[in-house]
Amino acid sequence: MAEGRKSRKKPLTSEQLKRSIESLGPAEAADALEALDPNVAAEVLQQINPSVAGDIIPELENDKRDSLFAAAPEGVTRQWSLNLSFPEGSVGRLMEVPPLTFHPNETVGEASDRVRGVPRATFFTYAFILDAERRLVGVCTMRDLLAADDAARLEDVMLRDVFALRPEQQLDDAMRIVVHRHYPVYPVVDDVGRFLGQVRGSAMFQEQAVEISAQPGQMVGVNDEERLLTPWPRSLKFRHPWLQLNLLTAFLAAGVVGFFQETLDQMVILALFLPVLAGQSGNTGCQALAVTLRGMTLGELDKGAGKALVAKEALLGILNGFLVGLVAGAGMFFVARAQGNPNALALSGIVVLAMMGSCVISGISGALIPLTLQRVGADPATASSIFLTTATDVASMGMLLGLATMLLM
């Protein structure tokens, strides 16, 4: 009876398979596709965001990849291979084959007949007009075809001044260009105007959303390939090296505390406020880091803007450090008085000064670290947090213990 129910279980539709595959990392998605019939796998892969498909294809076993390519239309496999020739994060990785392309000498009637032959479910918005050398010379909307006379040639009704993207453009740069051009599809051409493919606007925004959503994870050592369903051994492989590196930097902060061990032995009350300063200065640095990374993502950091940003964060560090330091200093005063410490007022002043100094250093670090990493070619979103954490911990603990040593010991 159970076998009968199992045999009657409906197979997943291609849309359900697509959603399932998209929820996996590239390696797991490749394993799932390899378990499917090549025809089904090819159909599913064609529906996936081209950039995601480009990450999955290299993970496939060679024989499985050959079977999948053989099952897909020739134009699609040629497009997949072309996309993989461009770097990750570029427009070229998002290209797909348009349903149809047209010649300038075709008539509107001939073009309309070809359009009617396209399956209803196919995403088809613009008719791209190519010359004999496949250079993009014009574009027609479906409305243009409906409104024009059937005997008219496409070259007489097409729009000649066509906006197009380049395949080597980085997605961030392309997004800044198209943000005020809300087209459903963008043509992609090479340096001599040859048509290479089309990119959906939705695919660009989806890819950008994925990049942005990956940044918080990258800042704490979570690989952008990791998903909810990623097996634990693979997650361990992604995360553990970062924790080891973080441990090494944590030893620097521990070294600062150890350097002032004698001060702590004589004024144990200082240990109560070490996490207070570390937490506040760390938050200040994270605020500056978040604003800086957002400015980088949106392209707001023009030449000279970096210096202004660092100066602004330094000023905010002084002001916020002073205001927060007053509250923390008051807390230190009351705690010290309650313990009968004769240096209660001096300790509260030290807390205020340490809070101001550590917040200034943290704010400057939050702005300066990603700018420096970007200049040397590293990914600011991935590497900034570990340097920032070290800077804020060392600054906050060093300030409090150093001032106490100089002024009270």
Mean pLDDT of the chain: 85
Q: How confident is the model at residue 246 (pLDDT cuts 50, 70, 90)?
A: confident
Structural domains in the chain (count): 3
Residue 96 belongs to some domain of the structure: no
Residue 24 belongs to some domain of the structure: yes
Verify that 364 and 259 share a domain, yes or no.
yes
Q: Give long-range contacts, CB 8 A cutoff, 24+ apart: 336-343.
A: 336/269, 339/269, 341/269, 343/267, 343/408
Tokens of 102: 């047209």
Under 8 Å between Cβ of 273 and 351: yes
Mean pLDDT of 296-304: 72
213 has a pLDDT exceeding 60: no
Longest dimension (CA), the chain: 100
Q: What is the pTM of this model?
A: 0.59
Verify that 185 and 246 share a domain, yes or no.
no
Verify that 375 and 273 share a domain, yes or no.
yes
User: Which segment, 21-25, 76-80, 302-306, is predicted with the most confidence on average?
Assistant: 76-80
CA distance 243 to 339: 39
Verify that 241 and 335 share a domain, yes or no.
yes
Mean pLDDT of 64-81: 89
Verify that 317 and 186 share a domain, yes or no.
no
pLDDT at 218: 53
pLDDT at 9: 52
Verify that 200 and 241 share a domain, yes or no.
no
DSSP 8-state secondary structure symbol assigned to residue 9: P
Verify that 350 and 397 share a domain, yes or no.
yes
Q: Residue 163 — φ and ψ, nearest 5°?
A: -80, 130
Verify that 244 and 198 share a domain, yes or no.
no
pLDDT at 21: 84
Verify that 208 and 236 share a domain, yes or no.
no
Verify that 303 and 397 share a domain, yes or no.
yes
Residue 30 belongs to some domain of the structure: yes
Last residue of a domain, one of 22, 52, 82: 82
pLDDT at 216: 56
Mean pLDDT of 260-271: 87
46 has a pLDDT exceeding 80: yes
Last residue of a domain, one of 25, 53, 82: 82
Q: How confident is the model at residue 7 (pLDDT cuts 50, 70, 90)?
A: very low
Read off the pLDDT of residues 167-195 as tens digits, 9 standing for 90 and up. Answer: 999 888 888 888 778 889 999 999 999 99
Mean pLDDT of 330-349: 92
Verify that 202 and 250 share a domain, yes or no.
no
Mean pLDDT of 208-220: 57
Q: Counting beta carbons within 10 angstroms of the beta carbon of residue 35, is it exposed (0 to 12), middle (13 to 18) or buried (19 or more)?
A: exposed
pLDDT at 240: 81
Q: Which domain holds residue 41?
A: 8-82
| Percentage above 90 pLDDT, the chain | 38
pLDDT at 354: 95
The secondary element (H helix, E strand) that includes residue 66 is: helix 62-71
pLDDT at 398: 92
289 has a pLDDT exceeding 80: yes
Verify that 58 and 207 share a domain, yes or no.
no
Residue 183 belongs to some domain of the structure: yes
Under 8 Å between Cβ of 280 and 360: no
pLDDT at 2: 47
Read off the pLDDT of residues 125-144 as tens digits, 9 standing for 90 and up. Answer: 899 999 999 999 999 988 88
Residue 90 belongs to some domain of the structure: no
Helix intervals (H) in 158-260: 171-178, 201-218, 232-259
Under 8 Å between Cβ of 186 and 164: yes
pLDDT at 373: 85
Helix/strand number for the chain, H first, E second: 18, 5
Read off the pLDDT of residues 308-318 as tens digits, 9 standing for 90 and up. Answer: 899 999 999 99
Residue 222 belongs to some domain of the structure: no
CATH number reported for the structural domain that contains residue 158 in this entry:
3.10.580.10
156 has a pLDDT exceeding 50: yes
Read off the pLDDT of residues 77-130 as tens digits, 9 standing for 90 and up. Answer: 888 889 889 988 899 998 988 989 999 999 999 999 999 888 877 788 899 999
Mean pLDDT of 61-75: 89
pLDDT at 226: 61
Residue 2 belongs to some domain of the structure: no
Residue 224 belongs to some domain of the structure: no
- Residue written as tokens 């291609």? 14
CATH number reported for the structural domain that contains residue 293 in this entry:
1.10.357.20
284 has a pLDDT exceeding 50: yes
| Percentage above 70 pLDDT, the chain | 89
